[in-house]
C-alpha cells in the first residue's frame, strides 16, 4: 500500500498525524507529509482511517 499527501489541498489540521503517527507527520511548512511513500506493514488500517477522515480529502491511498 502506498500513500500520498496533496500539499496544495492539505490545510494542516493534523488529524492524519494524530490518527496514524507512524505514517504521517507535520512538515516544517505546517502541512502533512507521508513519512514514507510505502505504508509499513501493520499501519495500513490507521493510514486508511486517516485518509478517510481527512476533511479536505488530501490523502490518497493506492493499493498494490
Range of the domain at 16: 2-62
Q: How confident is the model at residue 41 (pLDDT cuts 50, 70, 90)?
A: very high
User: Residue 32 burial by CB count (10 A; 0-12/13-18/19+): exposed, middle or buried?
Assistant: buried
The percentage of residues in the chain with a pLDDT greater than 90, rounded to a whole number, is 95
Residue from 8, 5, 7 nearest 51 by CA? 5
> Do residues 4 and 37 make contact, with C-beta atoms less than 8 angstroms apart?
yes
Read off the CATH number of the domain in which 20 is found: 3.30.70.20
C-alpha grid cell, residue 52: 478517510
Q: How confident is the model at residue 4 (pLDDT cuts 50, 70, 90)?
A: very high
Query: Count of domains in the chain?
Result: 1
Residue 37 has pLDDT above 80, yes or no: yes
Please tell me the pTM assigned to this model.
0.92
21-27: Cβ within 8 A, 24+ apart: 22/46, 23/47, 23/50, 24/50, 24/59
Amino acid at each position: 500500500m502506498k500513500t500520498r499527501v496533496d500539499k496544495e489541498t492539505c490545510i494542516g489540521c493534523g488529524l492524519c498525524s494524530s490518527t496514524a503517527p507512524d505514517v504521517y507527520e507535520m512538515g516544517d511548512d505546517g502541512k502533512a507529509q507521508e513519512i514514507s511513500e510505502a505504508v509499513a506493514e501493520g499501519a495500513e488500517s490507521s493510514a486508511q482511517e486517516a485518509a478517510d477522515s481527512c476533511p479536505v480529502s488530501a490523502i490518497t491511498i493506492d493499493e498494490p
